[in-house]
Amino acid sequence: MKQFISTADVPSVPRLVDIALEYKKNPFKDRALGQDKTLGMIFLNPSLRTRLSTQVAAKNLGMEPIVFNIDKEGWQLEMNDGVIMNGNTSEHVKEAAAVMGQYFDILAIRTFPGLKNKEEDYTEKYINQFIKYAGVPVVSLESATLHPLQSLTDVITIKERWNEPRKPKVVMTWAPHVKALPQAVPNSFAQWINAWGEADFVITHPEGYELDEKFTNGARIEYNQEEALKDADFVYVKNWSSYRDYGKITCTDNSWMVDNEKLKNTNNAKVMHCLPVRRNVVIADEVLDGPNSIVIPEAGNRVWAAQAVLSEILKG
Amino acid sequence: MKQFISTADVPSVPRLVDIALEYKKNPFKDRALGQDKTLGMIFLNPSLRTRLSTQVAAKNLGMEPIVFNIDKEGWQLEMNDGVIMNGNTSEHVKEAAAVMGQYFDILAIRTFPGLKNKEEDYTEKYINQFIKYAGVPVVSLESATLHPLQSLTDVITIKERWNEPRKPKVVMTWAPHVKALPQAVPNSFAQWINAWGEADFVITHPEGYELDEKFTNGARIEYNQEEALKDADFVYVKNWSSYRDYGKITCTDNSWMVDNEKLKNTNNAKVMHCLPVRRNVVIADEVLDGPNSIVIPEAGNRVWAAQAVLSEILKG
Amino acid sequence: MKQFISTADVPSVPRLVDIALEYKKNPFKDRALGQDKTLGMIFLNPSLRTRLSTQVAAKNLGMEPIVFNIDKEGWQLEMNDGVIMNGNTSEHVKEAAAVMGQYFDILAIRTFPGLKNKEEDYTEKYINQFIKYAGVPVVSLESATLHPLQSLTDVITIKERWNEPRKPKVVMTWAPHVKALPQAVPNSFAQWINAWGEADFVITHPEGYELDEKFTNGARIEYNQEEALKDADFVYVKNWSSYRDYGKITCTDNSWMVDNEKLKNTNNAKVMHCLPVRRNVVIADEVLDGPNSIVIPEAGNRVWAAQAVLSEILKG
Would the CB atoms of B47 and C85 count as touching at under 8 Å? no
Sequence-distant (6+) residues with CB within 8 A of B73 are A43, A46, A47, A51, A69, A72
Would the CB atoms of A90 and C47 count as touching at under 8 Å? no
- Radius of gyration for the alpha carbons in chain C, expressed in angstroms and rounded: 19
pLDDT at C211 over 90: yes
Q: What is the mean pLDDT of chain A?
A: 97
Q: Give the chain A residue whose CA is nearest to the CA of C293.
A: A95
Q: Which domain holds residue C24?
A: 7-146+302-314
Would the CB atoms of B73 and A51 count as touching at under 8 Å? yes
Question: Using a CB-CB distance cutoff of 8 angstroms, which residues of chain A are in contact with residue B71?
Answer: none
Interval B95-109 mean pLDDT: 98
Q: Å from A2 to nearest chain C CA?
A: 22
Q: How confident is the model over A157-168, as pLDDT tens digits?
A: 999 999 999 999
Asked if A41 and A116 sit in the same domain, the reply is yes
In a domain, A151, yes or no: no
Q: Give the C-alpha separation, B177 to B263, whole Å.
A: 20
In a domain, A152, yes or no: no
CB proximity A24 to B under 8 Å: no
| Torsions phi, psi for B181 (to 5 deg) | -105, 155
Would the CB atoms of C40 and B59 count as touching at under 8 Å? no
Please state, for a pLDDT cut of 70, what percent of chain B lies above it.
Answer: 100
CB proximity C32 to B under 8 Å: no
Interval B81-87 mean pLDDT: 96
Q: Give the chain B residue whose CA is nearest to the CA of C40.
A: B52
Residue C232 CA to chain centroid, in angstroms?
A: 22
Give B217's DSSP letter: B
Question: Using a CB-CB distance cutoff of 8 angstroms, which residues of chain A are in contact with residue C280?
Answer: 82-85
- Sign (positive/negative) of CA torsion A123, A125, A131, A137? negative
Q: How confident is the model over A86-117, as pLDDT tens digits?
A: 999 999 999 999 999 999 999 999 999 999 99
B47 assigned binding-site residue: yes
C206 assigned binding-site residue: no
Give B301's DSSP letter: T
Question: Using a CB-CB distance cutoff of 8 angstroms, which residues of chain C are in contact with residue A64?
Answer: 59
Q: Give the C-alpha separation, B178 to B284, whole Å.
A: 15
Asked if A140 and A249 sit in the same domain, the reply is no
Would the CB atoms of A85 and C285 count as touching at under 8 Å? no
C50 assigned binding-site residue: yes
**Under 8 Å between Cβ of B152 and B312:** no
Q: Å from B144 to nearest chain C CA?
A: 18
Question: Using a CB-CB distance cutoff of 8 angstroms, which residues of chain A are in contact with residue C46?
Answer: 73-75
Q: Give the chain A residue whose CA is nearest to the CA of C61.
A: A36
Among B55, B69, B299, beta carbon nearest to C102: B299
Q: Give the C-alpha separation, C78 to B275, whole Å.
A: 14
In a domain, A185, yes or no: yes
In a domain, B14, yes or no: yes
Among C59, C279, C296, beta carbon nearest to A64: C59
C110 assigned binding-site residue: yes
Q: Which of B196, B83, B73, B185 is nearest to B140 (CA)?
A: B185
In a domain, B268, yes or no: yes
| Torsions phi, psi for B106 (to 5 deg) | -135, 140
Q: Give the C-alpha separation, C203 to C229, whole Å.
A: 9
In a domain, A268, yes or no: yes
Q: Which of B201, B182, B181 is nearest to B192 (CA)?
A: B201
Chains touching A (at least 3 CB pairs under 8 A) are B, C
Among B36, B73, B96, beta carbon nearest to A69: B73
Asked if B135 and B226 sit in the same domain, the reply is no
Instruction: Give the pLDDT band of residue B47 (cuts 50, 70, 90).
Output: very high
Q: How confident is the model over C146-169, as pLDDT tens digits?
A: 999 999 999 999 999 999 999 999
pLDDT at C316 over 90: no
Asked if A125 and A209 sit in the same domain, the reply is no
Among A285, A288, A296, beta carbon nearest to B99: A296
Q: Give the C-alpha separation, B25 to B42, whole Å.
A: 29
C123 assigned binding-site residue: no
Q: Give the C-alpha separation, B122 to B113, whole Å.
A: 9
Asked if A141 and A24 sit in the same domain, the reply is yes
Instruction: Give the pLDDT band of residue C119 (cuts 50, 70, 90).
Output: very high
Interface of A with B in 167-186 (CB under 8 A): 178
For chain C, the farthest-separated pair of C-alpha atoms sits apart, in whole angstroms, at 62
Asked if B88 and B175 sit in the same domain, the reply is no
Question: Across-strand partners of B204?
Answer: B173, B222
Would the CB atoms of C102 and B43 count as touching at under 8 Å? no
SS3 state of residue C92: strand
SS3 state of residue A48: coil
| Torsions phi, psi for B99 (to 5 deg) | -65, -45
Instruction: Give the pLDDT band of residue B162 (cuts 50, 70, 90).
Output: very high
B263 assigned binding-site residue: no
CB proximity B53 to C under 8 Å: yes
Q: Å from C257 to nearest chain B CA?
A: 38
| Torsions phi, psi for C217 (to 5 deg) | -50, 125
CB proximity A55 to B under 8 Å: yes
Question: Using a CB-CB distance cutoff of 8 angstroms, which residues of chain B are in contact with residue C86?
Answer: 178, 278, 281
Would the CB atoms of B92 and A279 count as touching at under 8 Å? yes
Instruction: Give the pLDDT band of residue A73 (cuts 50, 70, 90).
Output: confident
Asked if C165 and C289 sit in the same domain, the reply is yes
pLDDT at B245 over 90: yes
Please state, for a pLDDT cut of 90, what percent of chain C lies above it.
Answer: 97
Burial (Cβ within 10 Å: 0-12, 13-18, ≥19) of residue A230: middle
* Chain B to chain C Cβ contacts (< 8 Å): 85
Q: How confident is the model over A286-297, as pLDDT tens digits?
A: 999 999 999 999
CB proximity C35 to B under 8 Å: no
How many domains are contained in chain C?
A: 2
Interface test with chain B among A279, A280, A282, by most B beta carbons within 10 Å: A279
Asked if A130 and A213 sit in the same domain, the reply is no
Query: Of A113-122, B286-295, C69-78, C223-232, which range is least confident?
Result: C69-78
Would the CB atoms of A178 and B86 count as touching at under 8 Å? yes
CB proximity B303 to A under 8 Å: no
Confidence (pLDDT) at C71? 81
Among A38, A85, A98, beta carbon nearest to C281: A85
The CATH number for A102's domain is 3.40.50.1370
pLDDT at C17 over 90: yes
Between CA A238 and CA A246, with CA A244 as vertex, the angle to 5 degrees is 80
In a domain, C153, yes or no: no
Q: Å from B251 to nearest chain C CA?
A: 15
Asked if A281 and A239 sit in the same domain, the reply is yes
Asked if C190 and C88 sit in the same domain, the reply is no
Q: Which of C135, C137, C109 is nearest to C124 (CA)?
A: C109
Where do runs of H (alpha helix) occur along chain B?
13-25, 49-60, 70-73, 93-103, 118-122, 125-134, 148-159, 184-196, 213-216, 225-229, 260-263, 285-288, 295-300, 302-314
Query: Of A24-28, A75-79, A129-133, which range is least confident?
Result: A75-79
Interval B156-174 mean pLDDT: 98
Interface test with chain B among A39, A48, A49, by most B beta carbons within 10 Å: A48
Interface test with chain C among B44, B51, B52, B178, by most C beta carbons within 10 Å: B52
CB proximity A190 to C under 8 Å: no
Would the CB atoms of A280 and B66 count as touching at under 8 Å? no
pLDDT at B71 over 90: no
How many other C-beta atoms are found inside a 10 Å radius of the C-beta of residue A26? Answer: 9
In a domain, B237, yes or no: yes
Confidence (pLDDT) at C74? 87
pLDDT at A71 over 90: no
Confidence (pLDDT) at B316? 87
Asked if B167 and B45 sit in the same domain, the reply is no
Asked if B127 and B226 sit in the same domain, the reply is no
Would the CB atoms of A276 and B75 count as touching at under 8 Å? yes
